[in-house]
């Protein structure tokens, strides 16, 4: 005799999906969407132009992926202004800045370093979104 169909619990399914995919975008917002909502902002307080931002607040409060996983996720950074992948937005100059790499301080709860193709001036306000993807 077949068993009765039960709707899966939405939140349980969401938790399972978040073990393989996380984003700074709000739930239901596609990566590459042009929005500052949910994005990360920081100021270049290094006192000089630099293309190496360490200690950034790209952190989640729960682990981003299964701690038993043998591989780290692919991290893609998006400009909240244009939606362009591998770019961050320099709010101070109203221009995107290309990202050369993102992975040097990648951990289970996020990452904290972005390396850029160009050096924003000291004091410039920057913004970005990030997507963490460990799907096969």
Q: What is the CATH number of the domain that holds 67?
A: 2.60.40
Q: Is 2 a member of any domain?
A: no
Q: Is 4 a member of any domain?
A: no
Q: What is the pLDDT of residue 70?
A: 63
Between CA 105 and CA 134 the distance in angstroms is: 17
Q: Could you tell me the CA-to-CA distances from 27 to 17, 31, 74, 76, 120 in Å, in that order?
A: 12, 10, 19, 17, 31
Q: Is 81 a member of any domain?
A: yes
Q: Could you tell me the residue range of the domain that residue 89 belongs to?
A: 10-133
Q: What is the pLDDT of residue 54?
A: 53
Q: Is 5 a member of any domain?
A: no
Q: Is 3 a member of any domain?
A: no
Q: Is 127 a member of any domain?
A: yes
Count of helix runs (H) and strand runs (E) in the chain: 1, 8
- DSSP annotation of 86 reads T
Q: Which residues contact 96 (CB under 8 A, 6 or more apart)?
A: 79, 81, 82, 84, 87, 88, 89, 90
How many domains would you assign to the chain? 1
pLDDT along the chain (136 residues), means of 10: 76 73 86 91 69 54 58 84 94 92 67 77 86 78
Q: What is the pTM of this model?
A: 0.77
């Amino acid at each position: 005799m077949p068993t009765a169909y039960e709707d899966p619990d939405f939140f349980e399914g969401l938790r399972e999906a978040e073990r393989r995919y996380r984003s700074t975008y709000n739930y239901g917002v596609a990566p590459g969407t042009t929005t500052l909502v949910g994005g990360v902002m920081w100021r270049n307080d290094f006192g000089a132009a630099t293309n190496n931002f360490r200690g950034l607040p790209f952190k989640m409060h729960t682990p981003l992926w299964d701690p038993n996983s043998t591989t780290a996720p692919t991290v893609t950074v998006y400009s909240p202004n244009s939606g362009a992948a591998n770019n961050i937005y320099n709010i101070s100059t109203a221009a995107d800045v290309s990202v050369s790499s993102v992975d040097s301080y990648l951990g289970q709860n996020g990452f904290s370093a972005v390396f850029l193709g160009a050096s924003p001036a000291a004091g410039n306000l920057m913004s970005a979104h990030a997507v963490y993807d460990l799907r096969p």
